């Protein structure tokens, strides 16, 4: 909780990413197999990796097998924690991985080798990265899909990235996919805590209202549990404090992600944006075994304390097409979390009607 086309580059390649594939399907000099182009993705996966490099080093065979079996069209990743390209003191390139030092080159090679191996070699990858090993997002889209546009900010500007790489927005012919890593609310009314989260929520509200011309799938670590049913122990999270501090506004009290203020703002975003929580649309009852996406450390006071803060939010016009939405981790021992403190969450849509396309 503390929580293209950008091709997968060969090691040592300096070729710039392209937003469209070459006519013969080759990128970076590699011949790609011919693929049938699909207009619309139907299966999605989101996961806060809590450091993608660490997952590659420690949990990649298991996660690769999981992805191979699920076979999603789109994979949204948050908390990549890889620094953006650019030497010290120079402007950063948040769409590219840092590789100007021996250690950063080695880390990039490790990561790119993993993303070039099955099944990830079947995907194009985009990055939006912070200046340091903090936050950051990635979006992997199957090569048989062709986004019309990929941007990295809530205002839709292609070249502009949100601070800390918190947004990737891909537009397809029939829908948009928004991958976000929401900033943690923190514990105090300070610039990098409550104030930052309020500004973020305000901009999200503006975005969803202004983007109603096309159906939206909004996914990622949204860092909020909307209702009591979305946490394992509501009383514990409502009463949580950091070093005994109590905010002056009662609505800001409690565990970040479960304060009344955050939950109210999230509800307003759903209402004003005419959006539906896909998981809760299908799963009405509380599930103490598999109903949470974040789990506290197995040792200490947060053992067994869990929250649902990773979502697929869909436009109301898509809700009848929501066939499945599942969390793939369970239990307090973090089974199916693949080394992270978040488990993957998936969404399956049914085929749309021809008139919808």
Annotated binding site for Mg(2+): 48, 79, 221, 223, 341-342
- Whether the CB-CB separation of 184 and 2 falls below 8 Å is answered with yes
Provide the Cα torsion 259, 263, 269, 275; round to 10°: 150
Instruction: Dig out the tokens for 152 from the structure.
Output: 């990295």
Say which residues have a Cβ less than 8 Å from residue 90's Cβ, sequence separation at least 6: none
Task: Please give the annotated binding residues, written as ranges.
Answer: 48, 79, 221, 223, 341-342
**Residue among 165, 159, 197 nearest 82 (CA):** 165
Catalytic site includes residue 342: yes
Would strands 149-151 and 43-48 be described as parallel, antiparallel, or unpaired?
Answer: unpaired
Catalytic site includes residue 181: yes
d(CA 200, CA 197): 5
Q: Compute the Cα dihedral for 204, 226, 1, 243 and give only its sign.
A: positive
Instruction: Dig out the tokens for 23 from the structure.
Output: 């006519």
Catalytic choice (73, 99, 201, 221): 221
Would strands 74-78 and 43-48 be described as parallel, antiparallel, or unpaired?
Answer: parallel
- Whether the CB-CB separation of 128 and 94 falls below 8 Å is answered with yes
Instruction: Dig out the tokens for 280 from the structure.
Output: 């809760």
d(CA 123, CA 8): 8
d(CA 40, CA 357): 9
Catalytic choice (123, 181, 311, 338): 181
Helix residue spans in 155-233 (DSSP H): 194-210
d(CA 252, CA 263): 10
Does residue 217 sit in helix, strand or coil? strand
Residues tagged active-site: 181, 221, 342
């Amino acid at each position: 909780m503390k929580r293209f086309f950008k091709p997968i580059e060969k090691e040592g390649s300096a070729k710039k990413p392209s937003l469209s594939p070459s006519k013969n399907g080759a990128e970076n000099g590699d011949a790609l197999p011919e693929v049938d182009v699909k207009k619309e993705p139907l299966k999605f996966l989101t996961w806060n990796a809590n450091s993608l490099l660490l997952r590659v080093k420690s949990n990649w065979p298991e996660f690769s097998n999981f992805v191979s079996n699920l076979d999603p069209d789109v994979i949204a990743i948050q908390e990549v924690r890889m620094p953006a390209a650019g030497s010290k003191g120079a402007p950063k390139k948040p769409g590219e991985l840092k590789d100007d030092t021996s250690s950063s080159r080695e880390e990039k090679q490790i990561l790119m080798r993993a993303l070039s191996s099955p099944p990830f070699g079947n995907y194009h990858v985009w990055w939006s990265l912070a200046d340091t090993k903090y936050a950051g997002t990635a979006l992997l889209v199957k090569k048989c899909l062709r986004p019309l546009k990929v941007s990295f900010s809530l205002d839709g500007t292609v070249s502009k990235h949100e601070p800390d790489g918190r947004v990737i927005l891909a537009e397809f012919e029939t829908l948009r996919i928004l991958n976000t890593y929401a900033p943690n609310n923190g514990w105090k009314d300070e610039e990098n805590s409550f104030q930052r989260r309020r500004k973020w929520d305000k901009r999200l509200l503006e975005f969803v209202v202004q983007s109603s011309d096309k159906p939206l799938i909004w996914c990622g670590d949204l860092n909020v549990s909307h209702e009591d049913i979305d946490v394992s122990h509501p009383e514990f999270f409502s009463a949580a404090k950091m070093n005994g501090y109590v905010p002056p506004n009662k609505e800001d009290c409690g565990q970040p992600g479960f304060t009344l203020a955050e939950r109210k703002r999230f509800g307003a975003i759903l209402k004003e944006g005419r959006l539906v929580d896909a998981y809760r649309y299908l799963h009405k009852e509380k599930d103490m075994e598999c109903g949470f996406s974040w789990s506290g450390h197995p040792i200490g006071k947060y053992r067994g304390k869990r929250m649902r803060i990773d979502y697929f939010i869909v436009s109301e016009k898509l809700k009848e097409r929501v066939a499945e939405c599942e969390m793939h981790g369970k239990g307090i021992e973090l089974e199916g979390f693949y080394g992270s403190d978040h488990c993957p969450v998936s969404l399956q849509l049914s085929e749309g009607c021809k008139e919808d396309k």
